Structures are given as C-alpha cells and as structure tokens.
Structure 1
Amino acid sequence: MPAGSSPKRERQYEHIKEGARKRGESTERAKEIASRTVNKERARAGESKQASTTSTRDPKSASQRGGQRSHSGSQGPTRDQLYNEAKERGIEGRSKMNKDQLAKALGR
C-alpha cells in the first residue's frame, strides 16, 4: 500500500489479499491483486494524485456494472435466450433450430 493510505484502504487491501490467498493464489499474486484493486478504487474515488483516464472513465466498479463491458464486441442474445423467446411466442420446431435460425424465426 502507498504511504498515507487511509485506514479504510488498508483494511480493504488486507481483506482482498486474504480472500485471494483463500482461493489458492500465491502470496505475491494475492498482494498484486489487492494492490491493483485498491489502487483502482482510490483512483475512482479521487484519492490518488495520478489517476489514469481508464480508471476514472467509468466510476462504477465491475460488480456495480453487473457484467456490462465484460466482453469485447456484442454478439447479441445467446441461443438459450432466443430459444426461450421462441418458446414464449410458440414458434414450431424451435428445439431443432440453431442460433441463426432462431433469430431469423424471431424476426431479428
């Protein structure tokens, strides 16, 4: 942790580090994960003197985003999502259709 960190960030660092250790990460890797996480949160909160634009661009954390932006490129709904929509609409033969066929049958 950087010198002058708040007690809250110190506790956060230890909590993340211990969680990583319990998941089986090495001590060094656990420290790295904790440091990066805490530093990113400090940057988002405006607590660091230098913050990259990528860390401050979106003030939401990954858990707050709920998976948004977790994948590059949008591939649309999954085959299962399309299947469930087809089931709701009562489209015949849906169980034998692939993703593209389901999308076409749904008019997408």
Structure 2
Amino acid sequence: MPTGNKLAYTEKQKRQAKHIFESERERGLSEEDAERIAWATVNKQDGGGKKKRPHH
C-alpha cells in the first residue's frame, strides 16, 4: 500500500490509513484510489504527517 515517504506519520496514523484503505477496497475502489482517499483522510483529520508533539 505505501507509496511515497510516510516516515513523518505516527504508527496510529499509518494504522488509520490502512483501515481506511481496506474499507475503500471492500467498496470496490482501485488500490490507487483507495490509497489516495486513505491518506487524504488522515491528512485532513491530523493536518498531515507528523511525529508526536513534544509537551510544552
């Protein structure tokens, strides 16, 4: 599933994207479309890939 550099994403974000990807595939979308939707959804929810924030 992963294309591009996903190093900036947390494990939680990666799990969320995988779950969304699998759901979209079950709905009949192509792998490309399912992946695009999965990462776009994670980005919309979290504002993009990011490591854990330091506590201030």
Q: Is the 8 A contact 2:43 2:49 kept in 1?
A: no
Distance apart, 1:3 and its partner CA: 1.7
Among 7, 24, 30, the alignment partner of 1:20 is 24
1:11 aligned onto 2:12: no
**Aligned partners of 2:10, 2:43: CA distance in 1, in Å?**
12
Whole-angstrom distance in 1 between the partners of 2:13 and 2:6: 10
- Cα-Cα RMSD: 2.0
AA of the residue aligned to 1:11: R
- For structure 2, the residue ranges without an aligned partner over 5 or more in a row are 51-56
How many residues align? The count is 46
Cα deviation for residue 20 of structure 1 reads 0.1
- Report the TM-score when normalising by structure 1: 0.39
For 1:1-108, what aligned pairs fall within 5 Å after superposition?
2-43=6-47, 48=50
Relative contact order, higher structure (CA 8 A, sep 6+)? 2
- Sequence identity percentage: 41
TM-score scaled to structure 2, two decimals? Answer: 0.71
CA distance in 2, matches of 1:27, 1:47: 21
| Separation of aligned partners in 2, 1:35 and 1:4 | 12
Which blocks of at least 5 consecutive residues in structure 1 are unaligned?
49-108
Larger radius of gyration: 1
